[in-house]
Amino acid sequence: MSRQYFGTDGIRGTVGQAPITPDFVLRLAHAVGRVLCRRAQAAGQTQARPQVLIGKDTRISGYMLESALESGFNSAGVDVILAGPLPTPGVAYLTRTLRADLGVVISASHNPFPDNGIKFFSAQGSKLSDAWETEVEAALALPPVWADSAHLGKTRRLDDAAGRYIEFCKSTFDSTLTLKGLKLVVDAANGAAYQIAPKVFHELGAEVHAIGCRPDGLNINDGVGATHPEALAQAVVAQGADFGIALDGDADRLQWVDRQGRLYNGDQLLYVLAMDRQARGDGVPGVVGTQMTNLAVELALQAKNIPLRRAKVGDRYVLELLNEQGWLLGGEGSGHLLVLDQHTTGDGLVSALQVLQACVRRGQDVSDFLQGVELFPQTLLNLPWVVGQDWRANASLVAACDQVQAELGESGRILIRASGTEPVLRIMVEAKEIKQAQSSAEFLAKSLTQIQQGDSSRN
């Protein structure tokens, strides 16, 4: 059975348009609740109701969707714990420590505020499998079966969720080190970490200047955060700070700025983490990136005898390959970094602390770790695309790709993929020269537009 609703990171879309509507979200929670109850019964766990933890980011629509989720779970006989605004990795952590059966996050991550979404974590705090999502979609197709009054679920609020998560984040930082003497600019994207992120770094000793920490329900990711790091770069230079840390709306991705205002992405930070561990004598048997990981980073890791394996784009696929290999470090250029001996999922705050730890321990800046690693220029273009349509079925576009790849030779590569979170086709071209990357990407985009126009005229 193919999945109709789930993308690469849960279910996401524009609020008020299917599937991000209150009625669907209620149905979704009811279906998930039925799956939980069925699995509990199959495991012989009949004494207690299943329990889910729900957290959210700062979007105004979160109130509405939270209520719908609560009702849907309760109607299926599932208890609910409401954590309020909390980063996605915070929900993963508390799901595990509270022994909940499921974690639920209401967030559209880096998307603008009109969007929202629902994503899930297992009882172990990790992303759920495609098979689980397929089982939920099958349950969605069935008529509801309401629990009788005696077996309806109950709801309670967890008042100290933020404090618990702050202490967890701090525990991942080497207790023999301190951030005293460092000045940081911390940008929470007006999102879920707006209260938490400044406190984490301040309580470890840093002087913190916060931006993007005044959410109003409408300004999440608006000109700030990991998707708009220029605001962070300007603030770091203006404040004379040592480092700048930008998170996205649900705080599971990280972008980094040094005191000169230079930006470092997830590929570079992943390399820093690997080099720090290798320098400490910790074994780094391998690192997992994605199809988008910059070729320069792969070559630099290979020079240090560290292999890089590429997963499909999406942190859940990075996690799957890490578990398959038995490795600890992985990530994406977008800033999703996985450090599996610290957390079960990507965490922007934990990743930032790991990078800070490396810099403090060795008395170096990020740029020192990256000497000699020059990223290959990448050009990424997004074009409107029909969800579910396979671009490889279009012979003309395949021919255009073959032509460009022949011109790039071994010094460049092409990646075309349909987004799992938006109705767009992402075209990426990587080459040694920026002009070649740009012209090749623009040629492919133009070819696609002409193909679509031709298809439209024939219809």
Residues forming the active site:
109
Per-position DSSP letters for 389-407, written without gaps between them: --GGG-HHHHHHHHHHHHH
What's the rounded Cα separation, in Å, for the pair 347 and 99?
A: 20
Percentages helix, strand, coil for the chain (3-state, rounded to 5) are: 40, 20, 40
Radius of gyration of the chain from Cα atoms? Answer: 22
What's the rounded Cα separation, in Å, for the pair 396 and 83?
A: 50
User: Structure tokens of 382?
Assistant: 């997004």
Residue 397 and residue 447 in contact, taking contact as beta carbons nearer than 8 Å? yes
Helix H segments across 280-414? 295-303, 315-325, 348-362, 366-369, 395-408
User: Structure tokens of 369?
Assistant: 């770790």
Work out whether strand 102-106 and strand 51-56 pair parallel, antiparallel, or are unpaired: parallel
Helix (H) or strand (E) holding 131: helix 130-140
What's the rounded Cα separation, in Å, for the pair 375 and 266?
A: 12
**3-state SS, residue 14:** strand
Cα–Cα nearest to 420, from 131, 130, 221: 130
- What are the distances in angstroms from CA 50 to CA 38, 93, 95, 123, 161? 10, 18, 12, 11, 20
- DSSP state at residue 150: G
